[in-house]
Amino acid sequence: MSVSPSCLLLLAIVARSAAAEPARPGTWAERKPITFEQLRKGFAQPDMAYAPFAFWFWDEPLQPDKAEKMARKMAEQRFNPGYAHPRTTGPGVAPPNPLPPEQWLSPLWFKSFAAALGQAEAAHAYLGYCDEYMWPSFQAAGRIAREHPELRAVSLDWETEDVPGGTTVHVPQCFFAVAAQLAGTPPKREAQTGARLGQWIWKPVPGEGPHTCYFRKVLELPADATVELATAKLTVDNRYTLFVNGRRIGSSEDWREVRTWDVLPALRPGKNVLAIEGGGDGGIDALLFGLHVALAGGQAVEVPSDETWRVAETTGAGEGWTEPGFDDSRWAPVRVVEADPAAPPWSLPEAGSGPHVPATILSATLATIGKGTPCEWQAPPVGNWRVYVFRQRQHGSVNYLDERLPGVFLPIAHEPYATQFAGRMGASIPGVFVDNEGQYGDRLAWSDTLDRRYREKWGRDIRLWTPLRVDRDVEGAYAKARWEWFEVVTDLYAETMGSTSKWLEGRGMYCISNLWEESLQWQARYVGDFFKLTRAYTMPGNDCLGRKALEVHDFKEVQSISEFEGRRFMSEIMGAGGWGWFSPTSIKQAANAVTAWGVGHVVPHGVFTNRNLVNAQWTPDWYDENPMFPHLHLWTDFVRRASYVNSHGHLVPDVLLVNPMDTVWATAPPQVFDPHSEGGLAGTDEQFGERLQHVNAAYSDAISQLTKYRIEFLVADRHYLRQMEVKAKELVRGPFTFGAVVLPPMDVLPLGVAQLLARLAQAGGRVYALGELPTGSTDNGMGDGQMTALMDSLRKAPTFKECSQGLASALEANAPGLTSQIHFESGAFDMLQHHLRVDGRDLFWLVNNGSAWRQCEVTVQGTKGAAALWDCETGSTRPLPSRATPAGARVRLSFKPEEAYWLVFDPAAAELAEPAPKPAPRAIATLEGPWRVHLSPEGQPNLQFPQDIPAEFRSGTERALAPWQQWGLAHFSGLLDYQTQVEVGTADGPCYLDLGLVYHFAEVLVNGRSVGARLWPPHAFNLTGALKPGRNELVVRVGNLVNNQYGDLREAGLLGPVVLWRGEPTPPPKPKPTDIPRGKPVALQNPTADHSQPSFSVLDFLTDDGKGWGAWDAALKEPLAQTAVVETVTTLGKPGTRLELIFTLKHNHTPPEGLNLGRFRLSATTDDRASFADGKEKGGAVAANWTVLTPIRSLSLQGATMVVEADGSVLVAYGPLERDTYVIVCHPTLSGITGFRLECLEDPRLPRCPAGRTEGGPGRSPGEGNFVVTYFGVEARTSN
């Protein structure tokens, strides 16, 4: 009987986990108590619960055997099948073949789930589920809204009327009405502009089932009309396409959205035709339309939907029906559907009274004046008064503020799992993913539960203070009113969403979700209290779409909650970013970063069951279509080990950042609550106004700056601040101590929190304020005298410091309390760091997320004892030499490109002294070929569009190293084998093979045996023990990206140089300052180019100011090979002297990295200066009699490899992508030099823009080949 290596590894995982870890807690969401020795022993092979969980989309009709196969293949890569998510494929997928909603939770669903679960269990992996068809959760695929109309969402719409005192006002039928005295004269109301909607219309006889109607309306404009503005607003229940004069304007399939269309380009003087193709599904079908045309001279034309429109039956409209010349005389008049668009079942806010006009009132005069039936109300005789009439508006979604909702949803979405898999819930089914970013309700959300709970909590009728949510008052009570409303709304929302967590906890399972973390405004508008709602889930989480994994902003609040609550942190990574940023290197960078942000549960987005991925939304896909999939376990193992450590112990912070949500709630402007205000999701930040945008910007910048300067910190809301106490000079909560507090600009705070901050400052704790201190409180509203007194005492404390321009200057100056725990003694770089403490030991996650090798020496403040490096790629731990200093342990560190590891200190063990230096590695041979290249016989990806590659690659062909594009394989995605032979005299001692530049991953086989694979650089392999004396067969198996088969033509191939080393390769040495030659600066003038990128002009690249010259062509959407020339102010070079020219090319633009030249050539001329270099940034005079200057020496200050080509050009294709400076030394044979030329050249070995070019470059920017030269300079020196 034979056992596969995969099975052996899984057995090792189980055995190691059982021996090393304590008993499992109630759920996998909790951080396990663990000893340091247990942590160390479990590091090599942690439980699969710490491995990535796929966000697995079940997006096609169910096939149990397919679910079983996919789960098995994922588990083979140590990739948990993760969370089965029922959903559609998304628009644009052809053919559309989504999962039928009726299959969700059907017997077939559970048969498929059981098949996948069985494969997960066989591999000791896990499978959870998502509790909703698509999203957001609690809809039950629309079933709850259909079967329980009483649970549909409700919000309030309102109208206001301003009247003089003594006026009798008719209060119409409404939900309730409130009046208040205005503080002064009524505000001016602007005349309504824009299209006014008409009446609902449809064909004469209601349709049955799906059907189509064709509507026409003729509009005559004056023959001499000048149309200045023309907008149409419409919706159709259920769908429509709008035409004007035969021109298609747009379409929609969401009747809930009244869209506005610009029709100005389609209108003309004279006769015009409005044509709408409308679709209904039976029942109540109708069209609602309005057109507003503004003419020169102030005239306006309105065209509403009314009885004058004409309609054709579903038999067809006839050819040309959208054109003005069409005869519609036989069409029928429409039928007016007698219904109010603002009332149910539509409840369209756009059909109401228009945007709210804010005013200031006297809150002491607020009084309820009506409820339900119409009535008359007489305003008191003094002053002016405002009457607020509120109506209820129902929506298609469910009401998350209704306490009855969980009792209906949980039996539908969760209890069937407990019935089907009772013994596996909390075991192989560890938890549930709730896909619900947040939507407590629309604007002024309402429920009877909210009404009751508000009265119970605040002792006040919610109706009385509702006007204070849309208007301000002189007394300042509006801040308290808005804060109180948000507080109760979030209480109810958190209880609803938390009901799932409580149900699952009872079965030993966790619940995760991700919310809108993008900004404070998004959180307030859709989530309410981000901290409170996140606490409602047993495992806090976020989603970081695209490249957001590299940015700390969306992580810090969730990390803080996880730390304070002692729970693991989930992150759904790299979702919806497409294929553009999806490669072995990018997934490594993402894993490095999210571990630094505290993540202990990684959920890659996603794996599609529907393998038709053309135009699929929400890519990338992590399954077997990717050539790297057979080696994905290298990444999942790395993540498993990193997450394992991150799921234990706690952060060791020094600084506390205060969350300013109280200010956002209390000062949210009226448009946030107004259903008539424009903006939608994308316009949310703007709706909150400039002041709150400033607060959000300062808060976000503080998160970024503290992270940049490697300050360990957490964020606290009022909940956590209320749990803290002042001890000595610090704020303390449990194991966390904070010696410094950072305050964003704020208008409002709870008084208790303000008192805590004042006590801290008085005790000597550091407080840094980034702007205004609050003058109001959540307890008493704006203008609170107690708050003013507390903030005055805070300002007077000697440890208080104002930083109104941000934290950067204080951080740069190492201000007290704002210093990093790791100090660079040498070799400083942009390192990410994350400090945990487990069982009294300090563990630092350190990250080099760049493409350069890094070597540094650091002092780790406050640490002592033995240092060790825990390598998450290999699972090994090895001691590091260190020495004790009064400040802490000092260690020397080395980082490969994109490398990250745990640096661990054990004070119970002694330091390791520096060992004797190892012999320097030496190159044995450069393997230049010839290489026999052929299609790899195994491991090819399961492609949607397999390419029939040339026959020569199937049988094998000899090739020199070159990009695959040059071999006619631009669209090929897969693996090629490079075969050669290598002779070694002796196999003794360590021997390594460095492949140099590889796009994108490689496996090496020696004499038929694999010595390993590398998904990311450096592609260096240990051949020790695999080589034998004499001749050895060497195979390098190279794979590229899946992108190429979809036409996104990315770099591919083995480019080398391939070098055999005796000893492990070390980073290439960077030039020292003494290595850089120096001469006398040469004055240059009249920079000229044949092309300059907008905002990156050649006119800027003679001054070292960071701007510079770029070559991106906006029309072609790709960089181009370009030429720049300059004149010398004085002539260089005399007969009989030896001239040496030293060129400096700087690339200091940021972001992003990689905007360095990839291939370029320098030349000189002796032509008359009047004949070239005319100073134009585009189309300039670059022609002259040029002589190529062949470099005799070339340096990259970052250590990139520079190769001088046969044509005198310099190629920089391999090495760091960080901002770099090139130094090129030439010995021209010319005398009388008057100018220089810089040619930026394309090359297939450089990154390419996916626009279809076969050449790459001229720059090194990943995925596009762009560059920005920020400085071009020349120095000269002469000798006899």
Q: Which of 651, 685, 709 is the last residue of a domain?
A: 651
Question: For residue 517, what are the CA distances in angstroms to 522, 553, 558, 604?
Answer: 7, 8, 9, 18
The count of structural domains within the chain is 7
pLDDT at 314: 56
Percent of the chain as helix, strand, coil, to the nearest 5: 20, 35, 45
Residue 394's pLDDT band, with cuts at 50, 70 and 90, is confident
1120 and 1202 belong to one structural domain: yes
Question: For residue 117, what are the CA distances in angstroms to 158, 621, 880, 1243, 1249?
Answer: 52, 21, 43, 49, 42
In a domain, 519, yes or no: no
pLDDT at 3: 37
Q: Which of 889, 878, 892, 894 is nearest to 911 (CA)?
A: 889
pLDDT in tens, 1226-1273: 999 999 999 999 999 998 878 876 555 557 889 998 778 889 999 999
pLDDT at 12: 45
Q: Which residues pair with 984 in a beta bridge?
A: 1030
DSSP class per residue in 280-326: E-SSS-EEEEEEEEEETTS-EEEEE-STT-EEE-TT---TTTTSTT-
In a domain, 527, yes or no: no
Task: List, in sequence order, every beta strand (DSSP E) within 338-383.
Answer: 360-372, 375-378
1170 and 1247 belong to one structural domain: yes
pLDDT at 4: 41
Q: Which helix (H) or strand (E) holds 762?
A: helix 751-762
The HSE-up count of residue 684 (CA atoms within 13 Å, CB side) is: 18
In a domain, 521, yes or no: no
| Structural domain span for residue 489 | 143-187+354-434+438-513
In a domain, 969, yes or no: yes
Q: Which of 495-509, 628-642, 1006-1020, 1096-1110 has the lowest mean pLDDT?
A: 1096-1110
In a domain, 916, yes or no: no
From the CB of residue 1176, how many other CB atoms can be counted at a distance below 10 Å? 17
Q: Give the single-character DSSP code of 357.
A: -
pLDDT in tens, 1144-1165: 999 988 766 678 999 999 999 9
DSSP class per residue in 904-948: EEETTSPPBPPPPPPPPPEEEEE----EEEEE-SS-----SS---
- Average pLDDT of the chain is 91
Residue 1280's pLDDT band, with cuts at 50, 70 and 90, is low
Helices (H), 926-1060: 951-955
Q: Flag whether pLDDT at 241 surpasses 50.
A: yes
Question: For residue 539, what are the CA distances in angstroms to 498, 530, 563, 1042?
Answer: 11, 14, 11, 33
Residue 194's pLDDT band, with cuts at 50, 70 and 90, is low
Helices (H), 548-596: 553-565, 584-596
Q: Average the pLDDT over 329-358 and give the result.
A: 76
Residue 355's pLDDT band, with cuts at 50, 70 and 90, is confident
Greater pLDDT, 335 or 1136:
335
1252 and 1111 belong to one structural domain: yes
- Amino acid at residue number 1032: N
Q: For residues 1061 and 968, give the distance between their C-alpha atoms in angstroms, rounded to a whole number.
A: 32
Q: For residues 1096 and 1109, give the distance between their C-alpha atoms in angstroms, rounded to a whole number.
A: 5
Q: By three-state DSSP, how is residue 148 classified?
A: coil
Beta-strand pair 200-202/247-252: unpaired
Q: Flag whether pLDDT at 736 surpasses 60.
A: yes
Q: Which of 220-229, 411-420, 565-574 has the lowest mean pLDDT?
A: 220-229
pLDDT at 1070: 74
For the record, the structure tokens of 1161 come out as: 């050539």
Block residue for tokens 């050669």: 980
Q: Average the pLDDT over 864-887 and give the result.
A: 97
In terms of Cβ atoms closer than 10 Å to its own Cβ (0-12, 13-18, 19+), residue 1185 is exposed
Report the b/e string of 1263-1274 with b at 16+ CB within 10 A: bbbbbbbbbbbb
890 and 866 belong to one structural domain: yes
In terms of Cβ atoms closer than 10 Å to its own Cβ (0-12, 13-18, 19+), residue 443 is buried
Q: Flag whether pLDDT at 383 surpasses 60.
A: yes
Residue 354, phi-psi category: left (phi > 0), alpha (psi -120 to 50), beta (remainder): left
Q: Average the pLDDT over 379-386 and give the result.
A: 96
End-to-end CA distance of the chain: give it in Å, rounded: 81
Q: Average the pLDDT over 1062-1090 and give the result.
A: 87
Residue 1047's pLDDT band, with cuts at 50, 70 and 90, is confident
Q: Which of 149-153, 747-751, 969-973, 1113-1117 has the lowest mean pLDDT?
A: 1113-1117
Q: Flag whether pLDDT at 835 surpasses 90.
A: yes
pLDDT in tens, 274-319: 999 998 887 788 999 999 898 888 788 889 998 999 998 755 667 8
Q: Give the single-character DSSP code of 852.
A: S
**1067 contacts 1199 by C-beta, under 8 angstroms:** yes
Q: Which of 906, 941, 975 is the last residue of a domain?
A: 906
Residue 8's pLDDT band, with cuts at 50, 70 and 90, is very low
1000 and 1058 belong to one structural domain: yes
**1058 contacts 925 by C-beta, under 8 angstroms:** no
Residue 390's pLDDT band, with cuts at 50, 70 and 90, is very high
pLDDT in tens, 196-218: 788 899 998 887 778 889 999 99
**505 contacts 430 by C-beta, under 8 angstroms:** no
In a domain, 526, yes or no: no
Residue 22's pLDDT band, with cuts at 50, 70 and 90, is very low
Q: Which of 364-373, 745-754, 988-997, 1062-1071 has the lowest mean pLDDT?
A: 1062-1071
CATH of the domain at 1195: 2.60.120.260
Q: Flag whether pLDDT at 252 surpasses 90.
A: no
Greater pLDDT, 853 or 484:
484
pLDDT at 353: 58
609 and 684 belong to one structural domain: no
Q: Average the pLDDT over 673-692 and give the result.
A: 82
223 and 244 belong to one structural domain: yes
DSSP class per residue in 46-68: --GGGS-EEEEEE-SS--HHHHH
**552 contacts 704 by C-beta, under 8 angstroms:** yes
Q: Average the pLDDT over 955-979 and give the result.
A: 93
Q: Flag whether pLDDT at 974 surpasses 80.
A: yes
644 and 630 belong to one structural domain: yes
Predicted TM-score (pTM) of the model is 0.85
Q: Flag whether pLDDT at 1071 surpasses 80.
A: no
1264 and 1139 belong to one structural domain: yes
Q: Flag whether pLDDT at 578 surpasses 60.
A: yes
CATH of the domain at 870: 2.60.40.1180
pLDDT at 349: 61
Q: Which helix (H) or strand (E) holds 684?
A: helix 684-687
Q: Average the pLDDT over 700-704 and give the result.
A: 98
Block residue for tokens 């905007």: 1155
In a domain, 528, yes or no: no
338 and 364 belong to one structural domain: no
28-32, 751-755, 949-953 — which one is most confidently predicted on average? 751-755
From the CB of residue 734, how many other CB atoms can be counted at a distance below 10 Å? 11
Percent of the chain with pLDDT over 70: 94
Q: Average the pLDDT over 796-802 and give the result.
A: 97
pLDDT at 14: 38
CATH of the domain at 758: 3.40.50
Q: Average the pLDDT over 53-66 and give the result.
A: 97
The HSE-up count of residue 1175 (CA atoms within 13 Å, CB side) is: 5
238 and 319 belong to one structural domain: yes
Please state at what angle helix 477-505 crosses helix 448-458, rounded to 10 degrees. 110
Q: Average the pLDDT over 427-444 and give the result.
A: 94
pLDDT in tens, 952-962: 999 999 999 98
Q: Flag whether pLDDT at 183 surpasses 90.
A: yes
pLDDT at 678: 60
Residue 2's pLDDT band, with cuts at 50, 70 and 90, is very low
771 and 840 belong to one structural domain: no
Greater pLDDT, 224 or 449:
449
Q: By three-state DSSP, how is residue 671 classified?
A: helix
Residue 917's pLDDT band, with cuts at 50, 70 and 90, is confident
For the record, the structure tokens of 1217 come out as: 């992508």
Q: Which of 596, 616, 651 is the last residue of a domain?
A: 651
In a domain, 937, yes or no: yes
